[in-house]
Amino acid sequence: MKIALALLLLAQAGAVTRPGIPTGIQGMIVATGDPPFALPNARVELTRVQPSQSGPNAEAPRVARADVNGRFEFSGVRPGQYRLKVTRDRYLRKEYGEVALDEPGPPITLSNGQRLDLRIVLDPAPSISGRISDEQGEGVPNALVRAYRVNYDTRGSRRITPAFSTETDDHGEYRLYWIDPGEYYVGAAIVPDPVFDNPNEVTPPDGYAPMYYPGLTDPAGVEPIRLRIGTEAAGIDFRLTRDPEFRERRVTLRGDVVMGRTNLPGRSRITLEPLGDVAALVPRDESTEADGSFEIHEVEPGDYMLVAQAVRSAGRGAGRETGFVRLLIRNQDVSGIRIVPTTGTRLEGLLTVETPAGASRNTRDLSSARIELRPVAASVPVAVGDPPRAEGDFGIDRFYTGSDYSVSVSGLPGDLYLKSARIGSVDILDAGVFHLNFQSASDLLEIALGADGGSLKGSVYAENSNRPVPGARVVLAPDPKRRNRAEQYRMIVADDVGNFVIRGIPPGAYSLFAWRRMEPNAYLNRDFLSSYEGDGSPILIQAGENKPAGLRVIPER
Amino acid sequence: MTARRSVVEPLGSQEFTLKHRAVIDRPYKKETGIDIAPCGLICSRMRVFHMRETLRWILILTIPLGVAVQIGLGLQRGAGARGQRGARGGAPGNPTVTPSPGTPERGRGRGQPNNRPPTSVNGGSVQGVVLRADTNETLSRARIDLVRADWAPPGPTRQVGPRGGAAPRQPAATSPPLLTATTDEQGRFQFDNIEPGRYTLRAARNQFVRQDYGQRGRNELGTLIVVERGEQVTGIVLRLYLAPTISGRVTDPLGQPMAAATIAAYRLEYGPSGRSLTLAKATLSDDRGEYRLFWLTPGDYYLVAGYGAQVSKPLAENVSLTPNLPEEDQAYTVVYYPGTTNIRDAEIIRLSAGLDSFRDVHFMETQRYTIRGRVVDASTYRAVSGASVFLLLGSGHTGGREPDPIRADSDGRFTINGAAAGTYILYATAEPTPQALGGNRNVLGPRLFSELHRINLTEDLDGIVIPMAPPVEITGRVRFEGILADREGPIDGVRSLRELDGVVVTLTRKDGGVGDPRSSALSADGSFTILEVPPGTYTVSAPVPLGFYIKGIRYSGRDALSAGLTIRNVDPRSGSLDIVFGPGSSIDGRILDRGNAVAGAQIVLVPDPRWDTARSPDRFKITATDTTGSFYLRGIAPGRYLAFAFEELENRFYFDPEFLNRFGVRGVPVQLEENGIARPDLTLITAAETEAFSR
């Protein structure tokens, strides 16, 4: 497959291999259009792939600028593997051969005496612009305007996180330019400028709560702004209005951090992470005083995880201590919060392979399996298991009681799949997340792998033709009764000719979907998937079955 | 000459009648149990200055203009009068004052104060109106601040201060009490129940230039409003002028619009070192290359443009720019409007009120250079592995922020590519690394710092060696020499030291280096310890008690008052800092013109150039006469001075030697001893005389 891909890339690239021709990479940058047109002055960066070299001794990238005809050239390039990235004003960044934005494909391979001629097509980047005014209609200067991206966490929970921001000018106007395609909410807030203090600018009186287009204090329930390639979303205007209760609503959190290792106050980084499915609140990063005390002001009520990460101390385990407290904040200040960072505990586990004849000790090499316990709160570190030994036993360090986790197993050989995971009598896959309030010596994470998985091999085609869709997102979702089982979903990116292979599928009924673009983890969100239910193809995978499949990409809405 | 601005201010059908009050000059009396510190505005201003210094990074550099240029990124929070060129509004014509028999029962709907620390049941009131200077229309939604000018900080109360590493707790209050109001739909404001005292009144509104009551020239002090017990001060008119803006378009060498370029307006001002540039405002261009530097204060400006992460860092930290911006391997040289890399060829942009000045900036292709060198331990000359090497623009256009570092390799070697021609500061820091002490590798060594190395980059540089050493720990003590002969009785050092308990001594870099100021709170006995001070030259800021002056600062026996405190890597790793306060002297007086009090006259005390050539900034003093025409300055260092009374003072020309050459003969020589007092007989220098100089 890799050889086929490399040959394909060479064919697209127009490779010339001839003795006497100096080895090099050249090409042309063009813009999407009908017909496409040459783009001058693009920045082209060529980086040699050096897995063994990193840090200060790594080879510096070479940079070229496209000429007036959009042409660029790197001469005297040593044979090897390279990545080529292109950026240009007003266009989306692109890496040659990428399957999607920021998802690189295979590197470019340059042989001795070879000269590659590449063609890179850039897409225009979208923008959002508008005006922020106050109740009187006056433009609000220096308002912080944020574009919040709609995305999904590893459990499919919908998140609204700040992606890009800018400030308004004296007319209240703003431009969020050249941002990435996607779904956005636009919010504005009055934030004191920490850098400049112009005596002629009057900070508005307190009490202006953050607002979201088209003029709401909560973005939930509003349709996001969908930005496609080249979209110019102008006129995203809205007003900031005073909310007399806004100031009263915000509270102060006070407490201290005591290191579990020494029982002494410790200097830590503090993160206040909002939880919940729709969280437009921004995580707050603070530091404790030297005596371990902290105060966090102006906190909006909500569900939070307050996480302390120890910084710069000497000794074993130094700097790896984490502590956390979950806080449901209402309209009152909270004092006396104590966080005790520790290095966590070790959870022992056992990995087995189930055969149709029943459970047995593993006879296959599972050392490549990567077992992770992923916390629901992003600020709590992921607990990564040791590679399982021949007997299937493994341990997971930095496990914290009290934290909600989901289990993930990847890197499985062949058609193995995650069949069950339990601690004692509790099936932790069925519940989706688990946590232990206390840990006893007998707690064992038992993970069973199925060996009777099926596979699916197919191609993705365009909506109305038989043209393949390279880079399509192919999702195999379990039938609605099993949608709570995150480990039974499969997502794969189609290759450069639209083909895909999915292995290790638990036997059962599924729906198969394909999108040209999709936010990472969106398919794990029930609402997202149900809105496309009619576009999926039902498919039944029997134990050990190798099934062919062909499907059309879902039209963009 | 009569006292000015005895006019009737038309306001629709309403009239604000202005009458001259019968002035009883008793500014130092004690009444209603409240001490009225006869300080004048300068006292509060100096305190604010100290506070501001802790928030300010100042870069001193010499650029090919032939003058020392001071570029500061000031976090000027609530300090400093910033008037406007040619502004004649906010006339200090004496406001109406009527006795109030008791508690005023006035509606609070108009311009209601937001907080009221200095209010009194039997207090007075201040009311007035804000107008647009160009149209005489009333201005609603203007913010009005009433600041107590004769305010002294409370005693040794401490409060929980802001967080911040080794920064000590701040004292209970470092700024005078403030009342705030907002003008109503008719532009009116009113403060009720205010304590007797002397007040600064200030108006600010978006789109307009902030203005103190009675302020006329830029940097000029306004007129203090004297409120007696139970008095109603009415008829105050503040006129605001539209603030000017510079806007335009930035293009690259190909003439294409340039996004995310940094455009900064530097205001030309006068300081003790001569002409100085102060960063007034900076912004980033948008995707069309367009920028707006809005609502500046009228004055003279240089427009400076830069491109790249280093110059845009202070601005880009506030916002999240697009990842689709091409990286900055085009390290353009900083450009001065209209398109020169040399400030001597730059054009001064003169902004007057209401002007929208359109200025396009064009970047040019420039040669780029490489700098190579090695970072070593100053004592062992061993390589410092992984040290962070910083190349800071010497022009100061980074806004005082540390640029992204280059990492030295395991041999301490570093390479900086793509630097444009220009002046730079090169330095290095290194985080603590484990030390093999007694077999315990868990003990961390100290951080290491280099001195600042100034380089003028006109070609590739190779073989630079940067020595590094641990920082210095400074222990110090504040002490008093002499007893202040105050009007309220003698004040000795013991009492003053008590007042200083918990306040902060701060070292602020003055050599172009960046980094947070180093500071320490004073203990009750006046001792302090400042940890981890990197090598460099610092200004020592110490809170000076009312009436005292800084008599001397010595660091390990060396003078650190006149030239600042300098620490080099060859110095010992600890040192002692001795700060001595002495009882200052004072001047007072009253400016009359044909028997009438002159309010808002600018009283300036300048070191006599015939006797004092050091031009130390703390020797320049300024205050303004209040509504009774009186002035009072205290805490003055002994020495010979020239005292002036200006009717109006554009910019701070008294720092300009040329100005002194012209007006020196009009100054009244004053010789002051410790605890001395002088009452110079000053004659008003008219606005017409000084205006000629400003042209």
Q: Are strands A108-110 and A80-87 parallel, antiparallel or unpaired?
A: antiparallel
Q: B residues 209-228 near A, CB within 8 Å?
A: 209-210
> Containing H/E element for B500?
helix B493-500
Chain-chain contact of A56 with B320 (C-beta, under 8 angstroms): no
Using the structure block, give the residue that is written with the tokens 């001193």.
B60
Q: Which two tokens stand for residue B605?
A: 């005390």
Q: Is the CA virtual torsion B427, B432, B433, B437 positive or negative?
A: positive
| Number of neighbours of residue B648 by Cβ within 10 angstroms | 23
Dump strand ranges (E) for A312-443. 322-329, 334-339, 345-355, 358-360, 370-375, 383-384, 393-399, 405-410, 417-423, 426-427
Residue B73 reports pLDDT greater than 70: no
CA atoms of A541 and A526, how far apart (whole Å)? 22
Chain A window 110-169: which residues touch B at a Cβ cutoff of 8 Å? 125, 127, 136, 138, 141, 144, 146, 162-167, 169
Q: State which amino acid sits at residue A453.
A: G
Q: What is the pLDDT of residues B586-614, one digit of tens each?
A: 999 999 888 888 988 999 999 887 776 66
The answer, yes or no, to whether residue B439 has pLDDT greater than 70, is no
CB A184 within 8 A of CB A178: no
Residue A6 dihedral angles phi and psi, to the nearest 5°: -60, -40
Considering only the beta carbons, identify the residue of B204, B287, B410 that sits closest to A199.
Answer: B204
Where is pLDDT greater, at A363 or A412? A412
The pLDDT of residue A1 is: 41
pLDDT classification of A206: cutoffs 50, 70, 90: low
Confidence of residue A517 (pLDDT cuts 50, 70, 90): confident
* A85 token code pair: 């990235």
Other beta carbons within 10 angstroms of residue A307's beta carbon come to: 26
* CB-CB under 8 Å, A195 with B208: no
* Alpha-carbon distance values, B541 to B120, B156, B521 (Å): 35, 19, 12
Nearest to B319 among A167, A197, A286 (CB): A167
Closest chain A residue by Cα to residue B298: A200
Contacts of A466 (CB under 8 A, 6+ apart): none
Q: Which of A162-176, B248-262, B263-277, B527-541 has the lowest mean pLDDT?
A: B263-277
The pLDDT confidence band at residue A51, using thresholds 50, 70 and 90, is low
Tokens 């030291």 map to which residue? Answer: B497
Q: Give the Cα-Cα-Cα angle B132, B133, B137 (nearest 5 degrees).
A: 35
Q: What percent of chain A has pLDDT over 70?
A: 89
Smallest CA–CA distance from B142 into chain A, residue: A202
B531 vs A: CB within 8 A: no
How much is the pLDDT for B310? Answer: 62
Chain A 463-522, residues with CB within 8 Å of chain B CB atoms: none
Q: Cα–Cα–Cα angle for A314, B516, B465, nearest 5°?
A: 75
| pLDDT score recorded for residue B332 | 73
pLDDT for the residue numbered A500 = 94
pLDDT number for residue B121: 58
Q: For residue A2, how many other CB atoms are within 10 A of its CB?
A: 8
Across the interface, whether the CB atoms of A125 and B166 are under 8 A apart is answered no
Q: For residue B57, what is the nearest residue in chain A, using CA coordinates? A: A195
Minimum-distance CB partner of B322 among A146, A179, A196: A179
CA atoms within 13 A on the CB side of B419: 27
Query: A311-320, B375-384, B443-452, B487-496: lowest mean pLDDT where?
Result: A311-320
Residue A1 to chain B, least CA–CA distance (Å): 32
Mean pLDDT of A91-107: 87
Contact B281/A198, CB-based, under 8 Å? yes
Q: B98 or A91: whose pLDDT is higher?
A: A91
Note which residues in 424-453 of chain B have CB less than 8 A from chain A: 432, 434, 442-444
Q: Which residues of A388-401 are buried (b: 16+ CB within 10 A; e: fewer)?
A: beeebebebebbbe
Residue A139 distance to chain B (closest CA, Å): 10
Percent of the residues in chain B that have a pLDDT greater than 90, as a whole number: 30
Asked if the Cβ–Cβ distance from B323 to A196 is below 8 Å, we say: no
- Give the nearest chain A residue to B400 (CA atoms): A195
CA distance B531 to A371: 46
| Model pLDDT, residue A101 | 86
Give Cα separations from A199 to B80, B243, B623 (angstroms): 9, 11, 20
What φ, ψ does residue B350 adopt, rounded to 5°?
-95, 115
- How far is the alpha carbon of B10 from chain A, nearest alpha carbon, in Å? 26
Contact A259, A288 (CB under 8 A): no
Predicted confidence (pLDDT) at residue A241 exceeds the cutoff of 80: yes
Contact list, A57 vs chain B (CB under 8 Å): 409
- pLDDT in the model for residue A21: 62
Spatial separation of the C-alpha atoms in residues A185 and A236, rounded to whole Å: 10
Burial of A11 (0-12, 13-18, 19+ CB in 10 A): exposed
The reported pLDDT for the residue numbered A357 is: 61
Average pLDDT, chain A: 85
pLDDT digits (tens, 9 = 90+) for A111-151: 888 899 999 999 999 999 999 999 889 999 989 999 998 88
Rounded distance, CA A72 to CA A65, Å? Answer: 6
Look at B163 and A180 and tell me if their CB atoms are within 8 Å.
no
Closest Cα in chain A, distance from residue B164 (Å): 7
| Smallest Cα distance from B363 to chain A, Å | 15
A290–B77 CB contact, under 8 Å:
no
Task: Please give the Cα distance from A236 to A239 (Å, whole number).
Answer: 10
Of A41, A200, A316, the CB nearest to B243: A200
pLDDT at B38 over 80: no
Burial B414-453 (b: 16+ CB within 10 A, else e): bebeebbbbbbbbbbbbeeeeeeeeeeeeebeeebbbbbe
Q: What part of A 363-422 touches B (C-beta under 8 Å)?
A: none
**Residue listed under structure tokens 């890597």:** B569
Percent of chain A having pLDDT more than 90? 46
pLDDT attached to residue A286: 82
A309 CA: distance to closest CA in chain B (Å) = 16
Could you tell me the pLDDT band of residue B28, with boundaries at 50, 70 and 90?
very low
Residue A94: closest C-alpha in chain B: B324
> Residues 194..253 of A with a Cβ closer than 8 Å to B: which?
194-202, 205
Does A239 have pLDDT greater than 60? yes
Q: With CB atoms and an 8 Å threshold, state whether A170 touches B82.
A: no
Are A200 and B314 a contacting pair at CB < 8 A?
no
Distance of alpha carbon B619 from the chain centroid: 16
pLDDT 10s digits, A441-500: 778 999 999 988 999 999 999 988 889 988 899 999 999 888 888 889 999 988 878 999
Beta strands B565-567; B536-541: pairing state? antiparallel
**Is the N-terminal amide bond of B196 cis, ω within 30° of 0?**
no
Whether the upstream peptide bond of residue A214 has omega within 30° of 0, thus cis, is: yes
Is the bond into B338 cis (omega within 30 degrees of 0)?
A: yes
Determine the Cα–Cα distance for residues A419 and A424; give it in Å rounded to an integer: 16
Rounded mean pLDDT of B6-10? 26
The sign of the torsion formed by the CA atoms of A163, A166, A167, A168 equals negative
Contact B419, B370 (CB under 8 A): yes
d(CA B453, CA B463): 14
| Lowest-confidence segment of A104-118, B43-57, B109-123, B619-633 by average pLDDT | B43-57
Residue A319 pLDDT grade (very low, low, confident, very high; cuts 50, 70, 90) = low
**Mean pLDDT over the full length of chain B:** 74
| Closest CA in chain B for residue A268 | B165
CB atoms within 10 A of CB B109: 9
* A-interface mutation test, from B206, B215, B284, B413, most A Cβ less than 10 A away: B206
Mutate to test the interface with B, among A72, A88, A89 (most CBs of B within 10 A): A89
Of the candidates B76, B324, B432, the beta carbon closest to that of A178 is on B324
Q: Which of these, A102, A62, A81, lies nearest to A6 by C-alpha position?
A: A81
Give me the mean pLDDT over the A140-168 stretch: 88
The lowest-confidence range among B86-95, B103-112, B372-381 is: B103-112
CA angle A448, A450, A455 (to 5 degrees): 150
Residue with token string 């540089």: B461
Instruction: Report which of residues B220 and A72 the model is more confident about.
Output: A72
B363 and B250 in contact (C-beta within 8 Å)? Answer: yes
Query: What was the pLDDT predicted at B88?
Result: 32
Please tell me the number of Cα atoms within 13 Å of B219 on its side-chain side. Answer: 19
| CB-based contact A41 B166, cutoff 8 Å | no
**B238 SS3 class:** strand
In this structure, are residues A454 and A541 in contact, taking their beta carbons and an 8 Å threshold? yes
Strand partners, B579: B478, B553
CB of A192 less than 8 A from some CB of B: no
A195 and B210: CB-CB below 8 Å? no
CB atoms within 10 A of CB B60: 19
Rounded to an integer, what distance in angstroms lies between the CA atom of residue A190 and that of residue A135? 14
- How many CB atoms within 10 Å of residue B35? 13
What's the pLDDT tens digit per position in B514-524?
777 888 888 87
Contacts of B417 in chain A (CB under 8 A): 60
- Chains A & B: contacts with CB separation below 8 Å: 144
pLDDT at B154 over 50: no
Judge contact between B540 and B553, C-beta under 8 A: yes
In A261-344 the beta strands, taken as DSSP E runs, fall at: 268-274, 284-287, 293-299, 302-310, 322-329, 334-339
Does the pLDDT at position B145 exceed 90?
A: yes
Please report which confidence band the pLDDT of residue B22 belongs to, taking 50, 70 and 90 as the band edges: very low
| pLDDT score at A256 | 93
For residue A427, pLDDT beyond 80: yes
Q: Which two tokens stand for residue A448?
A: 């069973």
Give the least confident one: A320-324, A412-416, B156-160. Answer: B156-160
The CB density around residue A45, as the number of other CB atoms within 10 Å, is 17
Range of lowest pLDDT (A105-114, A519-528, B261-270, B513-522): B513-522
Phi and psi dihedrals of B421, rounded to 5? -60, 145
Bridging pattern class, strands B119-132 and B231-240: parallel
Residue A422 has pLDDT above 60, yes or no: yes
In chain B, residues with a C-beta closer than 8 Å to the C-beta of A138 are 206
Please state, in angstroms and rounded to a whole number, the distance separating the CA atoms of residues B349 and B343.
13
Chain B residues whose CB is inside 8 A of the A42 CB are: 326
pLDDT band at B484 (very low <50, low <70, confident <90, very high): confident
Does the pLDDT at position B461 exceed 90? yes
Q: Mean pLDDT throughout B151-155?
A: 50
- Rounded Cα distance between A235 and A223, Å, is 16
Residue B184 CA to chain centroid, in angstroms? 31
Reported as type and span, the H/E element at residue B537 is: strand B536-541
Residue B14 has pLDDT above 50, yes or no: no
- Do B287 and A177 lie within an 8 Å CB cutoff? yes
Supply the ipTM of this predicted assembly.
Answer: 0.78
CB-based contact, B464 to chain A, within 8 Å: no
- Confirm if B508 and B498 have CB atoms less than 8 A apart: no
Per residue in A528-539, pLDDT (tens digit) is 999 998 999 999
Lowest mean pLDDT among B266-280, B354-368, B394-408: B394-408
Decide if pLDDT at A32 tops 60: yes
- Contact list, B432 vs chain A (CB under 8 Å): 312
Quick one: pLDDT at residue A278?
52
pLDDT in tens, B339-373: 887 777 889 999 999 899 999 999 887 778 899 99
Please state, in angstroms and rounded to a whole number, the distance separating the CA atoms of residues A514 and A498.
10
Indicate whether B29 pLDDT > 60. no
Q: Which residues contact A328 (CB under 8 A, 6 or more apart)?
A: A302, A303, A304
Contact B207 A87 (CB under 8 A): no
Q: Is B130 helix (H, G, I), strand (E, B) or coil?
A: strand
Question: Does residue A4 register a pLDDT over 80?
Answer: no
Q: Spell out which residues of chain A touch residue B208, defining contact as CB-CB under 8 Å.
A: 200
Q: pLDDT-based confidence at B318, cuts 50/70/90?
A: confident
- For B410, phi and psi rounded to 5 degrees? -65, -20
CA distance B414 to B394: 20
A138–B206 C-beta distance less than 8 A: yes
Numbers of helices and strands, H then E, in chain B:
5, 53
List, as ranges, residues 234-273 from B with C-beta within 8 Å of A: 243, 245, 254, 256-257, 259
Summarize the confidence of residues A283-294 as an average pLDDT.
82
d(CA A424, CA A444): 7
In our burial notation (b when 16+ CB lie closer than 10 A, e otherwise), range B388-408 reads bbbbbbbbbbbbbbbbebbeb
Whether the CB-CB separation of A147 and A219 falls below 8 Å is answered with no
Q: B 90-149 residues with CB below 8 A of A?
A: 114, 141-143
